[in-house]
Structure 1
Amino acid sequence: MSCPNPRHDLLYEIPSKEWNTGAPLGNGQIGVMVWGDGNPLRLTLDRDDLWDLRMPPGPDDPSFTWQNLKKLAQEKDWGTLNATVERNLNPPVPTPTKLPLGRLEIAFRGTSSNTSVFRGRLSLKKAEFGVTFGGKRVNVFVCAHAPVVVVECFGESASPLVSWRSFHDLNPGQAASLGIQPSDSLQMNGSTAAVQRFPDGTTAVVAWRCAPSAGGFVLRCTVATSADGDDPIALAEDTLRGCASAHSLKRRHREWWSDFWSRSSITIPEKRLETLWYYGLYKLASSSRPGNLPANLQGLWVTDGVLPPWRGDYHANMNVQETYWPVYATNHLEIGVPLLQWIENVTEPARQRTRNFFGWDGVRMETALASNGAPVPGWGTVQYWPGAATWLAHHLWLHWRYSGDRDFLREKAFPFFQLCFAFWEGYLEKGADGHLHVPLSHSPEWNGNLPGAWGRNPVIDLSLIRNLCLWLEESARELHLSDEVRARWKVVAESLAPYPRDPAGGLMLMEGVPLSESHRHPSHLMPVFPMHDISVEGTEEDRKCIEVSLAQLERMGMGEWTGWSFPYVSLIASRVGRARMAEYMLKLYIESFVLPNGCHANGDWRRNGICQYHYSPFTMEAECAATSAVTEMVLQSWGGTIRLFPAVPQTWRDASFHGFLAEGGIEVSAVREFGETTDVVLCSRERVEARVVGLRGDAQWRGTASARWENGMWIVALAADVPARGQCRTRMTDKPKATDTRTRNVFGLRAWE
């Protein structure tokens, strides 16, 4: 497969004059944003573990106890409760926070700022940024297999002028507020290093070396920190000294990306959405690799010279979840491993905090966390929300469902499910109606951090608890555990309060709180997506609930939505079969909430009139959610059924995908021609029976022990590692709409921008 192809690249007809329109590169540990006109060319550097993790002492507040909060909730003294939580969970302290590192500036001798001859291209296929200006050709990449940034320059005989500008140089006020001093410069055996010492004891070293090469020169740069060893200066020097040739580094780098892109691909007639699919996957693969931290709010592209928005934290009431949704169906479970490992690493500290505050064993996590799992100051409503750990647990469940790794289920996922359940078992309260209720919570981001945000029985919490019991039950069955072990989960599942509904039957946000105004966080639709305990394939009551709930969402409008809301709602629309709505949400997203370089801006920065927010702080979760949303349009496998092209508009006459992954670990490739699925290939690691919807009943199958047509569905017996292929004869009912191969590249900077 040649995808992604040049049409998906970022094209620069003019140079990027600002960091937030630059070209992003990364390898899971080191990130680079390339920008500037060559006089100089700027490389803003980032490293995944560069954090200030100092924890200022919290308020010594004897009123901040679970018993007191519960009492205030029972009395409905929301003002006192909110002030207490806000005072303790949102103190005005600057740390913990992700830190900017600084930028490398490369000035090429004899180069002017003549932008008329500037041309740049970020190749998604190669993960390289190539640029020409002033008779010079420069190529930049971050080695996929080594902590090295490579800058190749052709047509330049003299070495460039290279300088380092630290966070302190770029923003002395913010740096001083954290106690960060200027960096030190050091010469060492042909290399130059900038040594930055941070107040928490961390040392970061940026080192680089220029060397002549055929027709020009090569600059190699690395970033080492004290997390790598006791002497990061020596480690950085050793890395540069041991570097292979630029040619060898580039060959191995391209091999890694070639292998990555060979796993899955997609072709759809709406080329802007096709580009979204590749771009989001590129960004996630660039910022999440095994052995490193998972992608935070900004991935590996922290703001140039400014502390990042929302401290660059791990936000577990939607952001982390959206960021990692694509890894499953796109068949890239490996780039989800950092999140799974991080969840394991932060579990024990969260468990201890749960014991200390609530008084019983289990795991509940604050919503906003630092890289070490410590809570980050933020809105009290957000930080208190008790559902964050359980929503993170959904990723462990998805990993099991798509990988079929029983060791992972037994050793990692199931124990975490049990800890989440232990928290809820202690937290839920039995009411006079005999049901178990969530006594204090909020629906994410509803009413911000105001007293009116609090209540009980949010739909999102009830859905998470209900599904947690399901995961435990299915895990126990898979692991052959006794019925006695399952009894506790069954009691909770059967006794849990029903979802709060309005008089028309639609889902409310929480008990007594309908969706009464525009709201950016559609978490009250959790039972529809990402869960599926209410589905269009369920009862008539389910379908009515979905229709009424979506009608209410539409009536309230998009005024309070932000960029990430649109891919999220697209996913909901696909799940319920509203293909046009799913497509339209993504079109609105790309037209109004995406910066020229593809980065998600959160606000309607072009002022297209879509919502009231016009700011542009970069976070990457929406980019990844857009990839997931496009995937959901062409393949769904929830509930054990593989659905082919379940939410594609009728105008998508021709489409295909290759190498996707369905639940149960079944690889799926499919082709749609003239508005019908004509070809599907299934391959499983184990002998299984697959249920397939979306292929005509007259299909012919090969490579399968049996394939039978029942009630509009194929039941296909798959042998282990043997591809099974089902094909239908094409019915040319009309002329298909041809793909416009001339469609211009979506992202980049044009001369008129």
Structure 2
Amino acid sequence: MHTYKLPTKQHDLDFHKPIERWDEALPLGNGLTGCLVWGNGAPLCLSLDRGDLWDTRLVPEVRDAGFTYRQLAELVRAGDQQQITRRFSDFFSEYPNPTKLPAGRIEFHGGAAESMTSQLHLREAMAEVNWQADEVSYRIETFLHAENGFGYIRLSDSEAQNKLQFKLRAPAYSDSSHLSHDSLALLGYPDADYGRAEGLYWFIQRTSHELEYAIVAAERNTSDRTTEWVYVVASNHDGDDWLEIAKSKAAAAVISGFDAALASHLSWWERYWQKSEITIPDSEMEKQWYLTNYLFGSCSRKGAPPMPLQGVWTADEGKLPPWKGDYHHDLNTELSYWHYLKANHLEEGESFLDFLWDLRPAAREFAQSYYESEGINLPSVMTIDGKPLGGWPMYSLSPTNQIWLCHAFDQHWLYTGDRVFLETKAYVYLKETALCMLDLLVRGEDGMLQLPISSSPEIHDDSLASWLTPNSNYDVALLRYLFTRLTQMSEFLGMAEERNRWSAIAETLPELAIDGSGFMLSPDERLLESHRHFSHAMAIYPLQTVLYSGSAAEKKVIDDTIAHLEELGKGMWVGYSFAWMATLYTRQGNGEAARYHLQQFWQHLCSPNGFHLNGDFRRTGLTQFHYRPFTLEGNMAAADALQEMLLQTNGGIIRPFAAVPREWLEKGAEFRRFRGEMGILISAKAAKGRLEHVHLQAEQGGVFLLENRFDTGKLTVERNGVVVVMECSIGGVCPILLEAGEHCTVRGGSK
């Protein structure tokens, strides 16, 4: 009988004073809708968001005939920084649109709290706020239903019913009293129209383009002690008569009631939590892993848009969201979807792949208009519909960032072993990307292929120095990865002619630039200062084309690269840098350094509610960035690093507890149902300084390679009640054949 470890109270968020900021709020979400619960009771705010609320109006500059890669390359060669900035970058900050939009608020106006507690119950995905003001006690419970799209609120207390006022509030689109460069009022929208009928409240927000949306809430007094509300964020994306349908459905949902909806909501989350689990002696790190998986399940769902920078929690402070809440492909979207495969949350992660796949027409159009090429390529800073926002062009318009998106398709194939997905999606997406690259690559004087212009996110910021001598290691690593993986995929699929084509191209790509500092930025430049983005080290992670277990030269370059990053220091790092660095340390098997950097990340660069705020906002001296713009990629990258400490499966070799502190092995550590390559689910336990067992469950049949990390060369493999003894040297690789659906348990020793 299966037993599952579900989140408990120790994993919950628990606050004992009012939450004063939206980016420290209790977060709720169901993939499409988000809610942030915060405030002191005067009011208590539920800040709402919906993932597809976007102002997608493009600015004139991106429609200009000169908005092309060829024109950019000419300006770079001419050294005309002024024109580069004017024609490709400035408009990102000059215009408020395109941008992600907030939905608005629900507010409860009672008394300002004299005492207040706020809890986010992870297992139930439900927020609870209790406060007392003017001798009146208030208790609000609320959740966003995991499946039906509605939010539910319950107020329990007869006296509070008479004191608490319910209000809807639209965003400050028309408030021009405090205009700044990032005010929502710059969008030029009209005032919202408010309405009320028997038991119903709503506002409808019209915009300066085709979008209209509304928040609709239904109210019901269920007894003399309890009032319930049901709300929904609706829009004209929902079809004809969308507003009247939302009102009707909300009215019906509030009659069905809070408790009835809660039961099905809890069932969804219980299934979600059963996908994977960990137990480690560091309780704070364990809590952060569960919290991050909660955030992921809340803001990424199949059938809904994938998470942009802030997921479903757009800023609620009268301003445009940080970086307009867009989709950044020079790191942010990719890191946001690093961890889900190993955590075994396939459906939720497929939101990103479905999104990219459905945007292939937009990617093909952009490849034609901007790159003047075949194939597909998306802007690296883009809207929900795949259009460019602008920004520093060396990164917002880098062609090889598209290859980093390919990596998401490749990883999904590797971790599922789904041949149909490989043949119909992963291979197709990589091939169509390669067609664009082939139109851009030119022969250098040495006969090797290179890009006309090259860069490395986000080295040298927005300056002429950012254009590195082709090819940067970032570009080389991605190009070599793309054509090598296409070679391997086509060989696996039995496409001999295509295999030969891709292999020939891979052989004409230059090697990565290396010196005594490890990986360089480009053939004639090494990293000379602390920097937030480890783009030069892509081959180490996430691409893993250079392996610590490979040759002595590979091991040395990884060691040298990490040592050089240590020498340069953390002064110019942001939050995700710590998470990425932790993962680099896991390549060395250095669990102590990985743990330390994750602790620094969670302690100093995350809000009390877990949100990654990028900067050292408490000014502890950890980095020179003291701002606090909320983005999610650091959270997911940190979870990935912790998982890489517990289990590594690169190259098809299963390595349990490959990079954990010795203390964890002594005190006991366990993970269950982590996903490895080719559709294998892996569980393992260590205690008293040694590996106790590894359990393998195969979704796809095959031979699975387990590195012997036991303390003996004699192993037992138990399957179907039969125990077989195998000889395998310590540190050697033990092949285990499993049929689809079969499982086994491997232990050290002959008993």
Tell me which residue corresponds to 2:18: 15
Matched, 1:203 2:218: no
CA pair 61-150 structure 1, distance change in 2 beyond 3 A: closer
Matched, 1:341 2:340: no
Tell me which residue corresponds to 2:150: 148
CA pair 171-11 structure 1, distance change in 2 beyond 3 A: farther
Q: Which shifted more, 376-385 or 672-681?
A: 376-385
Please, which of 476, 479, 482 is the counterpart of residue 465 of structure 1? 479
Please, which of 684, 688, 709 is the counterpart of residue 728 of structure 2? 709
Take 1:431 and 1:657, find their aligned partners in 2: how far apart are those partners?
49
Tell me which residue corresponds to 1:698: 714
For the residue of structure 1 that corresponds to 2:519, the secondary structure is coil
Contact 1:298 1:618 in 2 (8 A): yes
Please, which of 157, 161, 165 is the counterpart of residue 165 of structure 2? 161
Q: Offset of 1:360 from its aligned partner?
A: 2.4
What letter corresponds to residue 122 of structure 2 in structure 1?
A: L
Take 1:271 and 1:625, find their aligned partners in 2: how far apart are those partners?
19
For the residue of structure 2 that corresponds to 1:242, the secondary structure is helix
For the residue of structure 2 that corresponds to 1:585, the secondary structure is helix
Contact 1:167 1:306 in 2 (8 A): no
Tell me which residue corresponds to 2:188: 179
Matched, 1:409 2:444: no
Tell me which residue corresponds to 2:123: 125
Structure 2: gaps of 5 or more residues: none
Take 2:5 and 2:173, find their aligned partners in 1: how far apart are those partners?
43
Contact 1:96 1:376 in 2 (8 A): yes
Please, which of 202, 221, 225 is the counterpart of residue 235 of structure 2? 225
Please, which of 60, 75, 83 is the counterpart of residue 57 of structure 1? 60
Please, which of 606, 615, 632 is the counterpart of residue 594 of structure 1? 606
Q: How does 1:235-250 map to 2 (within 5 A)?
A: 235-243=245-253, 244-250=256-262
For the residue of structure 2 that corresponds to 1:286, the secondary structure is helix
Please, which of 596, 602, 623 is the counterpart of residue 635 of structure 2? 623
Take 1:438 and 1:638, find their aligned partners in 2: how far apart are those partners?
29
Q: Offset of 1:507 from its aligned partner?
A: 0.7
Please, which of 629, 636, 643 is the counterpart of residue 655 of structure 2? 643
Contact 1:292 1:338 in 2 (8 A): yes
Take 1:16 and 1:38, find their aligned partners in 2: how far apart are those partners?
10
Contact 1:382 1:449 in 2 (8 A): no
Q: How does 1:59-74 map to 2 (within 5 A)?
A: 64-71=67-74, 73=76
| Residues 584-628 of structure 1: CA deviation (Å, up to 9, x unaligned) | 110111121011111111100111111101111111111111111
What letter corresponds to residue 440 of structure 1 in structure 2?
A: I
What letter corresponds to residue 479 of structure 1 in structure 2?
A: L
Q: Percent identity?
A: 32
CA pair 383-666 structure 1, distance change in 2 beyond 3 A: same
Take 2:57 and 2:64, find their aligned partners in 1: how far apart are those partners?
20
Take 2:228 and 2:527, find their aligned partners in 1: how far apart are those partners?
58
What letter corresponds to residue 113 of structure 2 in structure 1?
A: N
Tell me which residue corresponds to 1:256: 268
Please, which of 492, 498, 501 is the counterpart of residue 478 of structure 1? 492
For the residue of structure 1 that corresponds to 2:728, the secondary structure is strand
Q: How does 1:382-461 map to 2 (within 5 A)?
A: 382-455=395-468, 456-461=470-475
Take 2:533 and 2:523, find their aligned partners in 1: how far apart are those partners?
17
| Residues 226-280 of structure 1: CA deviation (Å, up to 9, x unaligned) | 0001222112112213313211100001111011001110011111111121111
Take 2:82 and 2:503, find their aligned partners in 1: how far apart are those partners?
36
Q: Offset of 1:35 from its aligned partner?
A: 0.6
For the residue of structure 2 that corresponds to 1:651, the secondary structure is helix
Take 2:525 and 2:25, find their aligned partners in 1: how far apart are those partners?
43
For the residue of structure 1 that corresponds to 2:411, the secondary structure is helix
For the residue of structure 1 that corresponds to 2:60, the secondary structure is coil
What letter corresponds to residue 148 of structure 1 in structure 2?
A: F
Q: Offset of 1:574 from its aligned partner?
A: 0.6
Take 2:91 and 2:425, find their aligned partners in 1: how far apart are those partners?
29
For the residue of structure 1 that corresponds to 2:662, the secondary structure is coil
CA pair 238-382 structure 1, distance change in 2 beyond 3 A: same
RMSD across aligned positions (CA): 2.1
For the residue of structure 2 that corresponds to 1:209, the secondary structure is strand
TM-score, structure 2 as length reference: 0.93
For the residue of structure 2 that corresponds to 1:252, the secondary structure is helix
What letter corresponds to residue 480 of structure 1 in structure 2?
A: G
Contact 1:58 1:91 in 2 (8 A): no
Q: Which shifted more, 697-706 or 49-58?
A: 697-706
Q: Offset of 1:322 from its aligned partner?
A: 0.9
For the residue of structure 2 that corresponds to 1:104, the secondary structure is strand
Contact 1:505 1:544 in 2 (8 A): no
Take 1:104 and 1:144, find their aligned partners in 2: how far apart are those partners?
19
CA pair 533-36 structure 1, distance change in 2 beyond 3 A: same
Q: Offset of 1:80 from its aligned partner?
A: 6.4
Contact 2:173 2:188 in 1 (8 A): no
Q: Offset of 1:176 from its aligned partner?
A: 3.2
CA pair 175-357 structure 1, distance change in 2 beyond 3 A: closer
Take 1:409 and 1:175, find their aligned partners in 2: how far apart are those partners?
43
Contact 2:89 2:391 in 1 (8 A): no
Tell me which residue corresponds to 2:334: 321
Matched, 1:685 2:699: yes
| Residues 667-697 of structure 1: CA deviation (Å, up to 9, x unaligned) | 0010011121101110002221111122343
Q: Which shifted more, 391-400 or 684-693?
A: 684-693
Contact 2:373 2:440 in 1 (8 A): no
Q: Offset of 1:730 from its aligned partner?
A: 13
Tell me which residue corresponds to 1:101: 103
Contact 1:193 1:208 in 2 (8 A): yes
Contact 1:15 1:115 in 2 (8 A): no
What letter corresponds to residue 743 of structure 2 in structure 1?
A: P
What letter corresponds to residue 127 of structure 2 in structure 1?
A: F
Q: Which shifted more, 269-278 or 347-356?
A: 347-356
What letter corresponds to residue 114 of structure 2 in structure 1?
A: T
Q: Offset of 1:189 from its aligned partner?
A: 4.3
Q: Offset of 1:470 from its aligned partner?
A: 2.4
| Residues 62-94 of structure 1: CA deviation (Å, up to 9, x unaligned) | 655444444455x56364674465358747222
Q: Offset of 1:121 from its aligned partner?
A: 1.1
Contact 1:640 1:691 in 2 (8 A): yes
For the residue of structure 1 that corresponds to 2:740, the secondary structure is coil
CA pair 82-176 structure 1, distance change in 2 beyond 3 A: closer
Tell me which residue corresponds to 1:747: none
Take 2:658 and 2:580, find their aligned partners in 1: how far apart are those partners?
17
CA pair 179-389 structure 1, distance change in 2 beyond 3 A: same
Structure 1: gaps of 5 or more residues: 732-753
Matched, 1:6 2:9: yes
Q: How does 1:256-655 map to 2 (within 5 A)?
A: 256-304=268-316, 305-455=318-468, 456-481=470-495, 483-502=496-515, 504=516, 506-652=518-664, 653=666, 654-655=668-669
| Residues 350-401 of structure 1: CA deviation (Å, up to 9, x unaligned) | 2122122333202222211111111112112222211121101100011111
What letter corresponds to residue 709 of structure 1 in structure 2?
A: C
CA pair 723-563 structure 1, distance change in 2 beyond 3 A: same
Q: Offset of 1:61 from its aligned partner?
A: 5.9
For the residue of structure 1 that corresponds to 2:394, the secondary structure is helix
